[in-house]
A and B are shown apart, each in its own frame.
Chain A
Amino acid sequence: MLTVENIHKTYATADGPFAVLRGISLGLSAGETLALTGESGSGKSTLLHIIGGLDTADQGRVLLDDTDIAALDDDGRAAIRRGSIGVVFQQFNLIPSLKIVDNIAFQARLAGRYDPAWAATLAERMGLTSQLNKYPEQLSGGQQQRVAIARTLAPKPRLVLADEPTGNLDEETAAIVMDLILELIRETQAGLLMVTHSQALAARMQRRVHLRAGQIA
């Protein structure tokens, strides 16, 4: 489903060019889960952003099924983001002015695939049914992250990308959230690629790729 081929990315810094990714290649099948680990600055988040169409590579291809994401323009990458890929951010990135019910439905509506029954199921599974008419600021961090996950899964994306999804949560809440993500991923048969520093979380994934200095170790 996902094929990443020879991705290179270099940033200009005050000290000169810095190669953050140097020829990364990997693959992911439907329903498969993959942990991306590595030290800070090893290029994990950059790779995730390039796969998600949030950033562009200097060289290489990112194939989602037969579509080369790296070759798309801004509109094309936006279409892939709203239709085929779901991203769970560490900072939740909910829309503060929308109610929880609207936040959950938001990406599905953008993709034109809003299914109220599925959205309600997600809300129930995430334990958000009583919170639907509240605003994000009225929820705890764990609840907000659950809203973000529900929002990501509402359009039933082919690929879920998660960037430290439990990084802002306490251990107990993090475990609950992670259980939910894995459970729903199994049901929807989406691929999951998760960036994490946590060895415990990485151990729960089917596969694990470790990055060091922009290369797969």
Chain B
Amino acid sequence: MTRATLHALLSHWWRSPLQLFTLLAGLALATALWSGVQAVNAEARASYRAASTTLGEGSYDRLARRDGQPIDLTTYVALRRAGWLVSPVITGRMNDVRIIGVEPLTAPGSMGVAEMAQGADIAGFIAGQGQLFGSADVAARLPDFDVIISENAAPNTAVTDIAVAQRILGRPDEIDSLVVAPVQPIRQDDLAQVAPDLIRQRAQQTTDTAQLTDSFHLNLTAFGLLSFAVGIFIVNGAIGLAFEQRRPVIRTLRALGVPLRRLMLLMAAELMIFAVIAGALGVLLGYMIAALLLPDVAATLRGLYGADVSGTLQLRPSWWASGLAIALGGTAVAATGALWKLAKMPLLAAAQKRALAMAAGRRAAAQAMIATLLLTVCVILCVTAQGLIAGFALLACLLIGAALALPFILDRALAFASRGARSVVTQWFWADTRQQLPGLSLALMALLLAMAANVGVSTMVSSFRTTFTGFLEQRLTSELYVDTADPAQATAFVAYATPLVDAVLPIMFSQTTIADQPTEIYGTRDHATYRDNWQMLSAAPDLWDTTFAGETILLNEQLARRGGLSVGDYVTVQGREMAIAGIYGDYGNPIGQAIIAEALFKEMYPEITPDRFGLRIAPERVPDFIAVLSAQTDISAAQTINQAGIKALSLAIFERTFTVTTALNILTLAVAGFAILMSLLTLAAMRVPQLAPAWAMGMTRAQLGRLELLRAVLLAMLTAVVALPLGLALAWALLSVVNVAAFGWKLPMYLFPMDYARLGVFALLAAALAALWPARRLARTPPADLLKVFSNER
């Protein structure tokens, strides 16, 4: 019995390959969209985790020669003898591979030598037997060397013992820099005495970039969630249609004696087999999508970390698992409803092909109720949501609620439009369009979510970009930043630079606690740089006058939020009560920050002298000034930071982010367009009995085809009208709830009407393209097929 039933069930697909294709394609695309985004995320994370664990780049202070020349061995030995816990490093390139030589016994633990050497002959490595650790890619590029493949290795990088690296690179006894261990002995000789030609380069201040990276990943994760929602609707639509088309056959099978339970089990098994096949195809497709996107992501991360990040992709087992889990889970969710309907379907109900429309009335009422409930929860969460889980719950309620409300909204809109219909064709068009809604609603929901995701994510990313550009202008106003080695050098530098530049602005700060929150407090000089450029989120009148007079304090948004503080409140700093005069945006900073006047800071922290300075100088004079500074003082070019470079880097990151999100936007829209195509194609057979009477009464097939096309575009247009406010609500939730929960700061939201208009045009084009083929097929339906509708023997 099982074999015969399975044969009957599977024969349906054999005879209807287009339906099988749409089902598999729907499942595969949904999986691909999800796994593609996840793959980009996972690969990017894996890449820079490997980079950071392997190299520990930027996480340790380093000693290097002022003139950039190699450090000699005697200086290293002298430092060790003087109590400095330092470890030598040499770097170079060979066959486009970055060779890093470290001294394994003295290298700080988290530089990752041990992690890389897991399972390998660490003794051989320590003994300097010529082993290198690197990825498989690196091993292929260095065929003449004993490369031990390590999964933890950074891309394009080989790590080896310093002696081996010196030999390979042909630089015996040379050291490029000395890594300073984070914990140093209490007593050690002063660096200036032991090694006067060395300067200490501070560890990279990575908090800003780390936060930006996290924001970047949050964007992608949010997009992953949205794409998953789009995918689920597509899967649901594909499976719902597959069940609907086989409803008469299922009734026949049951009437002939196939038990309901067996039938449901077989259909579930059949779907799961399809889910596995489509899931596997989806993972591969997602892999290809990710491979296309990853070079941009890699470039972004290279910009962020300054380290090589692989631009290629590995097909990780976890993706297979998660991709297949999504395909099977999505199918199970979608099939549960369909199987439930199958179980409840009366055996004797007339086997009618448009049962979908009949049942839709009851379903629509239930859907509208659930939508109302979800949107009510959404409104409550808008006011109360705190934390990332509540933020994502808000997003889920908003998206699912809006999607479920769509058929009702469209039905009402069409009913309203039909009132103005005068001609009989127009009346029929509106009535027929309303009748089509149930069959197309899932595809339209997918389109709604895709468009809302586009609007939402574009608004979020563009708002990020606008805000950060302004923020960078505000924070990096000085054209040049100079880092001095010690107070003596700082004093000499100020004396030297003051007459040559427009202003020398000291940057000095201390750690303190304000409103029970750990805070960095800065002493700031009264200068137009701050008064003219700093934008406040909320401010008291004359805030700069009162702050530079030492009467008030300015706080960053994070501190204000965590401390529950607002302008006009009082805080205690070093025992002094101060009123808050302003709260400023401080994007990318994880901790609290406060600003007081320079004089007051010196009074509170007399032991702190500034060692960093911002210089106001005409931008075109910066390169010459650096050259003269290096030549005439003991400050090297390595101690200066050109602001333009930092800004360009930061903006480049956003451009890359843009590229990735734009690609994903287009992809999601294309998938939604495909969902419409699938729905129209699968509904095409059901359309013939509905259109045949109109044809018989005098409408031409071409006319019917044109109206089909118009219908698809009209429905897409109405969906776009709903998608715009939904997308904006989505962007608001991401910027004002999720971002605050994740990072503690809120991003202002900007609107980009031209982007939305362009998206609307794309959506209409996608719908028109999707409808073109089914409409053309309809226009060419042979009259014999239309006549069969009126035949008893049909």
Contact = CB atoms under 8 A, between A and B. Distances in A.
B7 interface: yes
Nearest to B12: A97
B4 A78 contact: no
Interface stretch (B253-261, B303-311, B357-365): B253-261
Interface extent on B, as a size class? Answer: 20 to 34
B792 interface: yes
B400 interface: no
Contacts, number: 83
A58 to B, nearest CB: 15
B7 A102 contact: yes
A87 B252 CA distance: 11
Given A82-B1, A97-B11, A168 B792 contact: yes
Interface in A48-102: 49, 54-55, 74-75, 78-83, 87, 89, 91, 93-98, 102
A97 B188 CA distance: 87
A81 B1 contact: no
A97 B15 contact: yes
Nearest to B15: A97
Contacts of A112: 1
A216 interface: no
Nearest to A105: B4
B8 A106 contact: yes
Contacts of B16: 97
A55 B255 CA distance: 10
A140 interface: yes
A93 B261 contact: no
A110 B258 contact: yes
Contacts of A95: 8, 11, 249, 252-253
B258 A141 contact: no
Contact of A75 (B255, B259, B351): B259
Given A55-B347, A97-B15, A110-B1, A78 B8 contact: no
B348 interface: yes
A109 interface: yes
B14 interface: yes
Contacts of A98: 7-8, 11
Contacts of B792: 141, 168
B793 interface: yes
B4 A109 contact: yes
B187 interface: no
B255 A54 contact: yes
B5 interface: yes
B11 A111 contact: no
Nearest to A108: B4
B758 interface: no
Q: Which of B7, B8, B13, B257 has the most CB of A within 10 A?
A: B257
A118 interface: no
A166 interface: no
A110 B14 CA distance: 21
Interface in B247-292: 248-249, 251-261
Contacts of A94: 252
Given A54-B348, A95-B8, A102-B7, A74 B260 contact: yes
B3 interface: yes
A148 to B, nearest CB: 10
Interface residues of A, number: 33
Contacts of A110: 1, 4-5, 256-258
A98 B13 CA distance: 11
Contacts of B261: 74-75
Contact of A107 (B256, B259, B260): B256
Nearest to A49: B348
Contact of A96 (B4, B249, B257): B249
Nearest to B251: A93
B252 A82 contact: no
B14 A78 contact: no
Contact of A74 (B5, B252, B255, B259): B259
Interface string B703-746: 00000000000000000000000000000000000000000000
Interface string A21-63: 0000000000000000000000000000100001100000000
A55 B346 CA distance: 9
A78 B8 CA distance: 17
B3 to A, nearest CB: 7
B256 A81 contact: yes
Interface in B1-51: 1, 3-5, 7-8, 11-16
Q: SS class of chain B's interface: helix, strand, loop or mixed?
A: helix
Given A78-B260, A109-B4, A97 B255 contact: no
B4 A97 contact: no
B259 A78 contact: yes
B258 A78 contact: yes
A151 B11 CA distance: 17
A145 to B, nearest CB: 10
A78 B347 CA distance: 11
A140 B257 CA distance: 26
A55 B4 CA distance: 24
Interface centre among A74, A106, A135 (most CB of B within 10 A): A106
Contact of B249 (A75, A97, A151): A97
A96 B15 contact: yes
A82 B256 contact: yes
A75 B263 CA distance: 11
B257 A111 contact: yes
A120 to B, nearest CB: 18
Nearest to B793: A141
B252 A107 contact: no
B348 A55 contact: yes
Given A89-B255, A91-B351, A97-B8, A109 B1 contact: yes
Given A95-B249, A96-B249, A54 B347 contact: yes
A39 B421 CA distance: 44
Contacts of A140: 793
Contacts of B255: 54, 81, 87, 89, 93
Contact of A78 (B7, B12, B257): B257
Which of B4, B11, B13, B258 has the most C-beta atoms of chain A within 10 angstroms of its own C-beta?
Answer: B4
Interface in B504-532: none
A74 B348 CA distance: 14
Contacts of A111: 1, 257
Interface string A128-161: 0000000100001100100000010000000000
Nearest to B10: A97
Contacts of B252: 93-95
A82 B348 contact: no
Nearest to A86: B256
A81 B257 contact: yes
Contact of B15 (A89, A135, A151): A135
A78 B259 CA distance: 5
Interface centre among B16, B248, B255, B256 (most CB of A within 10 A): B256
A49 B349 CA distance: 12
Contact of A83 (B4, B7, B257): B257
Interface in A136-193: 140-141, 144, 151, 168
Nearest to B16: A97
Contacts of B14: 97
A136 to B, nearest CB: 10
A55 B351 CA distance: 16
Contacts of A93: 248, 251-252, 255, 351
Interface of A: 49, 54-55, 74-75, 78-83, 87, 89, 91, 93-98, 102, 106-107, 109-112, 135, 140-141, 144, 151, 168
20 contacts: A49-B348, A54-B348, A55-B348, A74-B259, A78-B254, A78-B260, A81-B256, A87-B256, A93-B248, A93-B351, A95-B249, A95-B252, A97-B11, A97-B12, A97-B13, A98-B8, A109-B1, A141-B792, A144-B793, A168-B793
Given A89-B255, A98-B8, 16 more contacts: A75-B261, A78-B258, A79-B259, A82-B1, A83-B257, A87-B256, A93-B351, A95-B8, A95-B11, A95-B253, A96-B15, A97-B15, A106-B256, A110-B5, A111-B1, A141-B793
Q: Give 3 closest A-B pairs by Cβ, nearest first.
A: A82-B257, A141-B793, A81-B257
